[in-house]
A = this chain, B = another copy of it.
């Protein structure tokens, strides 16, 4: 497993093919072709087809999580962090549609076995929101009656459903960034404490 470059080429090819066909309808030979590599070569870099998906997740999603973490670090206000999260999430998706499709779609359908592997970076991603919520509650900006674990899923789900629609629809009616603003706005207003409301626009 020397050639890091070939590893990447296969991952990128897999993203494309998985996005187009879905994991189960994707053929390993097609990924190989897309990567300009022989079928057998795939097995020098990955244990099996499942492993391609798992690696893809860990690596590509890992980058996104790291990216998002850094971006949120730049903002101090927890309520603003929520807006940033929404905007960035949908921006990532609009920039990497294929990857978004794979992450969004295949997270759910993959067999129970795979879920185990896939969930880790996913939960880490969700917990970025959770931390923001907790921080907001500690600072008195977010209502304390809201469960952070519920909010993280609600916000992620809202954004993600929007993203799925946007990725799959050909027409792209709603501007994706406008959607990000609206959704984050509803969450911010909905979650903010009475106290925060007085100081916020």
Contacts and interface: CB of A to CB of B under 8 A. Distances in A.
B149 A174 contact: yes
Interface stretch (A28-36, A61-69, A150-158): A150-158
A8 interface: no
A70 B165 CA distance: 26
Interface stretch (A19-27, A38-46, A92-100): A19-27
B109 A109 contact: yes
A55 to B, nearest CB: 19
Contacts of A154: 158-159, 161-162, 182-183, 186
A161 B153 contact: yes
Contacts of A24: 24, 109
A174 B153 CA distance: 12
Contacts of A188: 190
Contacts of A104: 108
Contacts of A159: 154, 157
A160 B107 CA distance: 14
A147 interface: yes
Nearest to A165: B153
A111 interface: yes
A9 B199 CA distance: 59
A191 to B, nearest CB: 6
Interface in A164-201: 164-165, 168, 173-174, 178-179, 182-183, 185-191
Contacts of A13: none
A182 B143 CA distance: 11
Contacts of A174: 147, 149-150
10 nearest A-B residue pairs (beta carbon): A157-B161, A190-B190, A186-B190, A109-B109, A154-B158, A24-B24, A157-B157, A189-B190, A158-B158, A157-B158
Interface of A: 21-25, 104-106, 108-111, 115, 145-147, 149-151, 153-162, 164-165, 168, 173-174, 178-179, 182-183, 185-191
